[in-house]
Chain A
Amino acid sequence: MMSATNSMSRFWQRRLLPAGSFRSRIMLISTITLVLALSCFVLFSWFSYTHESRARLSATGDIIATDIGAALAFGDDPAITKALAVFKADPAIHRIVVLDSNNQVRAYYHQAEASLKGSVPDEHRPEALSTGVANGLFAAAIIVERPVLKDELRLGTVVIEQNARIIINKMVVLLTLGTFFVLLLLIVSYLLADRFQRKTTAQIASLTETMQEVSRTKDFSIRVSGDYNKEMNLLSNCFNGMLSEIAQRDSMLLKRQDELHWMANYDLLTGLPNRALFLDRLDQALLHAARTGEQLAVLFIDLDDFKLVNDTHGHSVGDQLLQMVAHRLAEQTRADDTLARLGGDEFTVFLHNLQFIDNALLVARKHLKSLLEPYSIDGNTLYVSASIGVALFPYHGATSELLLKHADTAMYLAKEMGKNHVELFNSGLHQQVSERLNLANDLRGALQRGELELYFQPRVCLHDKSWVGAEALLRWHHPELGMVPPDKFIPLAEETGLILSIGEWVIGEACRQLSRWQAEGGPISSLSVNVSPLQLQRQDLPATIQGALRLNRLNPVCFEVEITESALMRDMEKSIAMLQELRQIGVKISLDDFGTGYSSLSTLRNLPIDVLKIDRSFLLRVHESDNDAKFLAAIISMADTLQIGVVAEGIECTEQEQVLKEFGCSEGQGYLYARPMPASALDRIVAC
């Protein structure tokens, strides 16, 4: 029901208020109003006229009643008829019927017929008349009934009927005139509505045009102008306000976009392009170079020991230095080449349209030279050098990533070469470097993964072949490469600083093993452990060793520290102080690889050492070469003089053993007696 009503009303809304123009709506409203007004007017006129007519007829009826009273009373019908005949002159009176007190028709008058009495037509019968009176409200023919009274005595009734044509004619005239006026008014309102429509539409059209222009040109500075009516002015003001808002937001958005773009492509500190932009430009340059057959160079620049600057002067100074470096690099770079900061102290430049390969190296050296100039920051004068790696297109790679990687590798090589150096990429070197890098990476986790193991090589008394101790040696079981030789990974560990943690582990592990042997009555009663020069410099070695000894309840006398000659040479004074500290703990100290370094025999006098380990190179041909034998004899006798024990390394045959015995060397180690082996293997040999 409800929905039916709604749909009905919607239907009428559609019918009555079509989504048309202002004009049609105004016309519709005008028409409805005017037709309603006309209807009201006609209806009012109808009632008013009916009322008026009724009053007039009543008056006429009363006059007739007075006039014919006596005639009616005395039954003088002809007199009544005569009296009624007067109304022939009044066209409004359609008919008059006179009834006596018994409601019998005494006389009747009809406009169209001759007056007669007797043959009364049916419609004049009293019953028909009373029905006519009752229904007279909306009937065109108005019928009024008036009594004939005389001194309260009812003598009869007069019924008067007005001519129906009168009121109908009147209404027709009224309607015709009304319709004419309505039509006239509608024409006027149409003209007015049309004018209004045209004015309003023109205003809206101009607004719309402006809006379209704004959306087409994206120019938010355009404003709506023009004199409109009140509502349209309000609308245009709102529109202008909205445009200002949009314009403001648009400019803000563009600014943000610029900022974001800058941040995405440039380095904040130096204002140079970043890695992303550099690679992008390099890609484009490579495409161009590939098409035209040009050569192209990528320079990878890394400051030497920049970390030291940061550590000693602070990051603020470091940042200022980077800015100055960027400035100097930019000065040396051609305008159409791209200089970028990759991050940290790494910069890259690519040189396009390179005529000769040497030019790239020339440019790199120019950079190096300019960077070497002193920097003055916050009153400090700083000196910084750089290492530059160069990779060339098309020789060293075709993609930006590859060229950058190779330039990086070349830079790494340049650092290896002693810094402040330019190195051109070379695929052979690249192989080596990448292997080393991979190995260094693997070594980092080796300790945690348990890939490191200690091997032990017994030290033998040359006279009775009994084991007087053993040297702990580090071995690395690489999961893919298998056993990695110590001379390959120990230098790596020293370079990367991993030797510190590994060295600590070695000391701890050696002590643990020794304590087990001692507890189980094992074959080895004392151990010697190799210590790296880095450990001497950076670590509190005495504390570490003392901690490990105490933990395993070992006598320090059983523990021997082996130090190479070269390690001692780096910082003699500090090293000697350290060794003396170690001796105070009770630990023995041996000088490893003796004879390979540059230490003179005289320096031996100043070193706090207990044992001298003669390098295997002296033993190689000692049984064949007289010279070597003499030298060996001299060492042994000198050590004997200084009361330093001598251990010969690398004894592989009995001839060597014989010679050593002759010279008075009492202890040695080598394959002749036992190879380095795991603790368990050592146990098995003893058991057999």
Chain B
Amino acid sequence: MFFLKMLMVLLLLFPLSALAADEQPLEYRIKANYLLTLPLFIELPSQPSSCTAFSVCVIGDTPLTELLEASKGKRIKGRPLVVMKSREPDRMNCCHILFIASSEQYRLQKLLAWANQRGILTISDMRGFVKQGGMINLVMVNNKISFDLNQAAARSASISFGTQLLRLANDVSN
């Protein structure tokens, strides 16, 4: 009951953002949640010391951007969340995670190479993202969101997945 009341108070305080987030379909809300939860179970290489925030970079068009914006300021791995969106990867600094929307299929290799070089975790919900060299692919299995992992790709970018994550993963390719 107590938590319900708290929720209602929060809803009253931030009605706009809440409504904005609620407008999106459940699928994307879950995916946004996954995007913010996954880093907890992943060892990421350290970014330059000038990057104090935890930056999630989104490239391409996706409703996730809006949802992530709603979670801005939330602390992930002890840092405040920053969401960046740009068409050009080079215009984004200090990225910890790079979400590649399905629309960017055409320059995927180029983007992956860019990310790998910088030790950035690459996530996408496009089909066959892992097979194409992506690290985490959000997939729909039995009407449920799950994920595939590419350990080899991750290793090449000095990123390692936690064992719990490996256990939960739908499929892990080495």
Contacts and interface: CB of A to CB of B under 8 A. Distances in A.
Contact of B168 (A74, A102, A127, A153): A74
A71 B40 contact: no
Most B-side CB within 10 Å, residue of A76, A102, A103, A151: A151
Contacts of B5: none
Given A150-B40, A150-B41, A71 B164 contact: yes
Contacts of A69: 40-41, 164
Contacts, number: 36
A127 B34 CA distance: 29
Interface in A43-82: 67, 69-71, 73-74, 76, 79
Interface string A145-158: 00000111100000
Nearest to A127: B1
A79 B144 CA distance: 14
B168 A70 contact: yes
B168 A76 contact: yes
Given A70-B41, A151-B78, A79 B167 contact: yes
B164 A70 contact: yes
A103 B3 contact: yes
A74 B34 contact: yes
Interface residues of B, number: 15
A416 to B, nearest CB: 145
A152 B3 contact: no
Given A70-B162, A79-B168, A152 B34 contact: no
Nearest to B74: A153
Nearest to B77: A151
A277 B49 CA distance: 139
Contacts of B41: 69-70, 73, 150
Contact of B164 (A67, A102, A127, A151): A67
B32 interface: no
Given A150-B41, A153-B40, A70 B165 contact: yes
Among A70, A79, A103, max chain B CB count under 10 A is at: A70
A574 B1 CA distance: 159
Nearest to A79: B168
B37 interface: yes
B145 to A, nearest CB: 8
A74 B37 contact: yes
A496 to B, nearest CB: 139
Contacts of A73: 37, 40-41
B75 interface: yes
Interface in A498-545: none
Interface string B130-174: 000000000000000000000000000000001011011000000
Nearest to B1: A127
B148 to A, nearest CB: 14
11 contacts: A67-B164, A69-B40, A70-B40, A70-B165, A71-B168, A73-B41, A76-B168, A79-B168, A150-B41, A151-B77, A151-B78
Given A73-B37, A73-B40, A150-B41, 4 more contacts: A79-B167, A102-B3, A151-B76, A152-B75
Interface of B: 1, 3, 34, 37, 40-41, 75-78, 162, 164-165, 167-168
Q: Top 10 A-B pairs ranked by shortest CB distance?
A: A70-B164, A73-B37, A150-B40, A151-B77, A70-B41, A70-B168, A103-B3, A151-B40, A70-B165, A102-B3
